[in-house]
Amino acid sequence: MCRETKVVVVGGGVLGTSAAIHLLRAGVGHVTLVERDGVAQGTSGAGAGFVAPWSLGSPDECGAEEAALADYAIDFYRELNAARPEAPYRQRGCLWMAQTERDWPSVERRHTEGPADSRIVEPEEIEKLTGGVVRAAGILRGVYHPSSAQISAERATRALAALFAAEGGTLRERTPVRGLVVEDGRIAGVDTAHGRIEADRVVIAAGAWTNAVLAELGQSLPIAPIAVSRIVTEPLGMPGDLPLLFVKALDSGLKKSIWVREEDGRLMFGANYDTPSRLTFIEDGVPERFDQVDLDGVLEVKRAAETLTTAIPALVEYKSFRIKHGAPCYTVDGRAIVGALPGVGNLYVMAGCNEQGVTHGPGFGRVIAETIAAGGSDFVDAAVWSPGRFEGEPQSPREVAAAL
């Protein structure tokens, strides 16, 4: 009788839980998901929850492969919601908006290079689509993607872990990985704080801590963990059918869009910013917790949001708020790193989400599962995410961050 294959997935975020459930359903053998803390207590707990083409990326950083991942995620999260109602799912579309003519060219690309159902919308329709949350007087025009969806990244990740366990997987929270076990050049298991777990295959999906897990093998990935902060207001009675909102406003001082969404009647918003705290994990290393991140980034997001009050008055109407911090990892080409890691047999990685892990995570989980189960994926051409593609490119986190 053949011995059952054992697979261990390290990391309880959206990438790790997606890999675990896909591996289990692919019938690869016994699957164990190991998480240092609790599921979704890292960057996935601060995820914005966009399920949309490009997400926070741009057309220059995404190809047909990423478009296929976005389409897959929309169906995947809808089915997850049907199986686990605690994972909310709403397909209310996404609005990309320009505040001035100077902002319009980059927003217009969301239409000219966007999904087939995208269309240009004028300010009056934008105000109607958002139930008055966005005021026509503050917007030049926009682009609407009706098929885009939104989830709660934290709740969806927890629901995936619960579904994985309910379907027969082994979930081990509060189990820090202390090292990887390699025998004869191949992975043989993981050493944890509670003992060794034998494995024939290991998938590392540890987010910003991925290189810390790989370090003892002399391995590292060319990723840069970038600190991000999101602001969540008190309940403001925001409509539950509010589309995802992206506002391009160069006059705010930010190069990229400010994003806004509804969550439990609250507003959740954020942006990419250039402040010292953004690079804190590169300069000082990634801590075990994100609760001591400097707040200059939060202040910059607040300042930028306040410049949009003619468009979205609610961005200054809240009285209290809380903060969520995360550390999505970026790559020099804007594409993730997914596949077998050269140098160690049967060791796989999922890293470098480029702040698009929610949209791309389910598809990456499928790619990893098909690669391990069948030796390759017929879903998409996974070579574009190959871990070995960076020869001659910046390698250290500082070099990668400088190249972004």
- Considering the domain boundaries, does residue 300 fall inside one? yes
Same domain, yes or no: 232 and 292: yes
Q: Both 308 and 354 in a single domain?
A: no
- Where in the sequence is the domain holding 370, given as residue range(s)? 6-46+154-220+334-403
Query: Is 67 within a domain?
Result: no
Q: First vs last Cα of the chain: how many Å apart?
A: 52
Do 239 and 298 lie in a common domain?
Answer: yes
List, for residues 211-267, the tens digit of each pLDDT value.
999 999 999 999 999 999 999 999 999 999 999 999 998 887 777 789 999 999 999
Write the pLDDT tens digit of every residue in 168-217. 999 999 999 999 999 999 999 999 999 999 999 999 999 999 999 999 99
Same domain, 98 and 164: no
Task: Please report which confidence band the pLDDT of residue 2 belongs to, taking 50, 70 and 90 as the band edges.
Answer: low
Q: Are residues 316 and 201 in the same domain?
A: no
Percent of the chain with pLDDT over 70: 97
Q: How are beta strands 244-248 and 94-98 bridged, if at all?
A: parallel
pLDDT of residue 1: 41
Establish if 82 belongs to a structural domain: no
Instruction: Provide the domain count of the chain.
Output: 2
351 in the same domain as 202: yes
Residues recorded for the chain:
404
- The confidence score (pLDDT) of residue 402 equals 87
Residues 160 and 142 both lie in one domain: no
Task: Report how far apart, in Å, the C-alpha atoms of 131 and of each of 105, 124, 134, 173, 269 are.
Answer: 26, 11, 8, 41, 18
Pick from 326, 355, 380: which residue ends a domain? 326
User: What CATH number corresponds to the domain at position 23?
Assistant: 3.50.50.60
Domain co-membership, 99 together with 232: yes
In the 3-class helix/strand/coil scheme, how is 217-263 assigned residue by residue?
HCCCCCCEECCEEEEEECCCCCCCCCCEEEEECHHHCCCCCEEEEEE
Is 88 among the domain residues? no
The reported pLDDT for the residue numbered 115 is 86
Residue 31 lies in a domain: yes
Within-domain flag for 72: no
- 25-37 average pLDDT score: 97
CATH code, 104: 3.30.9.10
Partner residues linked to 243 by β-bridges: none
Q: Does residue 73 lie in a domain region?
A: no
Q: What is the pLDDT of residue 202?
A: 98
d(CA 33, CA 174): 11
Does residue 365 belong to any structural domain of this protein? yes
Contact 256, 96 (CB under 8 A): no
pLDDT reported for residue 5: 84
3-state secondary structure labels for all residues of the chain: CCCCCEEEEECCCHHHHHHHHHHHHCCCCEEEEECCCCCCCCHHHHCCCEECCCCCCCHHHCCHHHHHHHHHHHHHHHHHHHHCCCCCEECCCEEEEECCCCCHHHHHHHHHCCCCCCEEECHHHHHHHCCCCCCHHHCCEEEEECCCEEECHHHHHHHHHHHHHHCCCEEECCCCEEEEEEECCEEEEEEECCEEEECCEEEECCHHHHHHHHHHHCCCCCCEECCEEEEEECCCCCCCCCCEEEEECHHHCCCCCEEEEEECCEEEEEECCCCHHHHHHHHHCCCCCCCCCCCHHHHHHHHHHHCCCCCCHHHHCCCCEEEEEECCEECCCCCCEEEECCCCECEEEEECCCCCHHHHHHHHHHHHHHHHHHCCCCCCCHHHHCCCCCCCCCCCHHHHHHHC
Let me know whether 375 and 243 are in one domain: no
My answer on whether 40 and 176 are in the same domain is yes
